[in-house]
Structure 1
Amino acid sequence: MFSFLKRLLPSSMRSDVVTIPVIRLQGTIMAGGGQFRPSLSLASTAGLIEKAFAYKNAPAVAISINSPGGSPVQSRLIYKRIRDLAEEKNKRVLVFVEDVAASGGYMIAVAGDEIIADPSSIVGSIGVVSASFGFPELLKKIGVERRVHTAGRNKAVLDPFREERPEDVQKLKELQLEVHETFIDLVKDRRGVKLADDPDLFTGLFWSGKRGLVLGLVDALGDMRGFLRERYGAKVRLKLISPQRGLFGRRIGLLGGSLSGRGTQDIAASAAHGIADAASERALWARFGL
């Protein structure tokens, strides 16, 4: 009789079924996020992360990552929120790499107590990059004069409409080195003795998941369902944590707010920013052949 009643209970309430909450973090990493293209930031992911760690009986939280990187600040903030909750709730974090966890995507991945990657996925790219365009010759050709007035001689550093100055580039390089050191220290702190002694490890290069296993960047090769079934048994239940929905079923959080109630100029501005964000996002994915 007891076994019959037990079968009537939802699977999440049965003592012999382990439920693992799952978060999917996909996209480039940047502050804010556009109305037209979702992105990852602490603001857009905090709700999902906290909801996943709220599952009291879950021994672990599974995180699927598919990101070519982006903002180092937002990457570290997401990483830290995951680690803070893991320690507070005493839960293990299992990270699964899909197509790519590179640069800021890999920074988030090292929040995992274990990193599991597909053999053909891309991991690494532990470095810092800054890219822009210069237009001084174009302005000359079309007869446009650039006028910039500043209070502070370095206020217009790296202005794309004037000739690049060596001292500006040097300042940028110094900043990049500091950010790079922070990234390296974080990876070393989390991966420790697992890391191979390879001179290319922190040069910004990236590797397949299979090579990443040899280098100590990941702990195992496989997929989420197969790994969790092997770890917690065939009856393990994966519970996908989805973004909260608004009044009319529109998702909020990962997709940002609503366009309703906004003027035509605001919408046009958002569209322009969306195009620029799309170009930047496309460049990030293209670095890894995706």
Structure 2
Amino acid sequence: MLASADKVVPALEDAFSDGHVKHVVLAIDSPGGAPAEAERIAQAITILKKRHPKPVTAIIGNMGASAAYMAAMHADRIVAGKYSLVGSIGAIIAPWRLDQAIAQFHVSQRVYASGKLKAFLNPFTPVSEESNAKAQQLVSHVGAMFVQELVAQRGPRLKQHVDYGTGEIWSGEEAKALGLVDEIGSLESLVRNTPSVETFNFGPRESSLARFASSMGRAAADTIVGMSSWRWGTGLR
């Protein structure tokens, strides 16, 4: 995946350590992904900023949602287009329920687990009340941690008395009014408003397979390459 921490963190390290780079820009266009990946990226930003003090701006393109926004909120400033989609703050587990389907063929699966909830996400076994309760408790807990982190990072900028943990998506303009982003703009407007700068893309970059898939249309590319398409590590020199 293009936006995995294994690819993004080295790009950030290159951008921060380059002595010619004065401003690190995170160009984000993603519906999200694994929160642990966003956590690694956010921690890298925090560590690298201490080691190489530079302003960091996150620029959201079409979408900066869920784990993508989780990483973006660790930047000093968040910029989004007025038509950008921002938010989806929370957590979700969406396992398939295949037990009823395989039962049509008189097939079932035997599961031997060391604990009663060890296999609670197994799609081939019937869902119990306990497994339902555990799944909901888990996503509620992770979602609450996301909101707590949002308040810790952007508390003074957030609009009061708003439930940010509903999981909903806002437009860029709505997100700005709520304090989720700081201004409306784009990478082009940032460069235009910063005279005498040169941009350099530290990656990660799409593979040749992704470029080939792009020629077949974005829908095909999403199928071949994966759901996320974050572009990180642009530097302003």
TM-score range, shorter chain: 0.7 to 0.9
Q: Contact 1:243–1:251 at 8 Å: present in 2 too? A: no
Q: Which has the larger radius of gyration?
A: 1
1:168 to 131, 146, 155: 131
Where do 4+ consecutive residues of structure 1 move more than 6 Å?
none
Query: Which digits, 9 at most, give the CA deviation of each residue in 1:34-63, with x for residues without a partner?
Result: xxxx34221121111100101224321011
| Structure 2 residue 98 is the aligned partner of structure 1 residue 135 | yes
State how 1:233-252 maps to structure 2 within 5 Å: 233=195, 235-243=196-204
Q: Which TM-score applies when normalising by structure 2? A: 0.83
Query: Which digits, 9 at most, give the CA deviation of each residue in 1:229-266, with x for residues without a partner?
Result: 31x31x2111111348xxxxx969xx9xxxxxxxxxxx
Q: 1:133 to 1:243 in 2, by over 3 A?
A: closer
Distance 1:58 1:146 in 2: 56
Distance 1:278 1:207 in 2: 26
Q: Contact 1:198–1:215 at 8 Å: present in 2 too? A: no
* Structure 1: gaps spanning 5 or more residues: 1-37, 245-249, 256-276, 286-290
1:92 corresponds in structure 2 to 55
| Structure 2 residue 73 is the aligned partner of structure 1 residue 113 | no
Q: Which moved more, 1:110-119 or 1:159-168?
A: 159-168
Distance 1:83 1:93 in 2: 10
State how 1:121-270 maps to structure 2 within 5 Å: 121-230=84-193, 232-233=194-195, 235-243=196-204
What amino acid is aligned across from residue 97 of structure 1 in structure 2? Answer: I
Distance 1:118 1:41 in 2: 24
Q: Alignment partner of 1:175: what SS?
A: helix
RMSD: 2.5
Q: Which TM-score applies when normalising by structure 1? A: 0.69
Distance 2:155 2:69 in 1: 15
